[in-house]
Amino acid sequence: MDFILVDSDVLIEVLRQSPVATAELLRAKTAAPLAVSVITRMEIVVGSNNRESLQRTEKLLQTVRVLPLNEEISATADAPVTQFHLSHGMRLADALIAATALAHDVPLLSRNQRDFRFIPGLKLLPYPPAAPAVAPST
């Protein structure tokens, strides 16, 4: 495998210091180099709400390869949007991220499995479910 494409949601959780997301990102990094779509880069930059947050984001992005959009990715994204917009709520950003993984023939690491599991040919890496909230003992 050339690299693993990482979805925005994983990086957002890493920036929020989620132990699960951090462990998954480190596990993936031991398997292959990491990359993100430029769409992911833009999504997490836009999510930065101050200079300190933006600096943390940029530092994290320096550890991954950022893949630009190209004609093949644009063409590949069109089919899932057309096919799955009404039935599965396929969003443009998710379609472009999935298309990036498909065009490069690499697996995608995403926390939101439901956003991608219906896309034919997409190699979606497993992601552990969130731990259930523990009710306080009485």
Q: What is the pLDDT of residues 21-79, one digit of tens each?
A: 999 999 999 999 999 999 999 999 999 999 999 999 999 999 999 999 999 999 999 88
Relative orientation angle of helices 71-88 and 92-104, to the nearest 10 degrees: 130
41 is a domain residue: yes
pTM assigned to the model: 0.89
137 is a domain residue: no
Number of separate domains in the chain: 1
Q: What is the pLDDT of residues 102-131, one digit of tens each?
A: 999 999 999 999 999 999 999 999 998 765
Q: Classify burial at 67, counting beta carbons within 10 Å of its beta carbon; exposed 0-12, middle 13-18, buried 19 or more.
A: buried
25 is a domain residue: yes
As a whole number of angstroms, the distance between CA 89 and CA 93 comes to 12
Domain CATH for 119: 3.40.50.1010
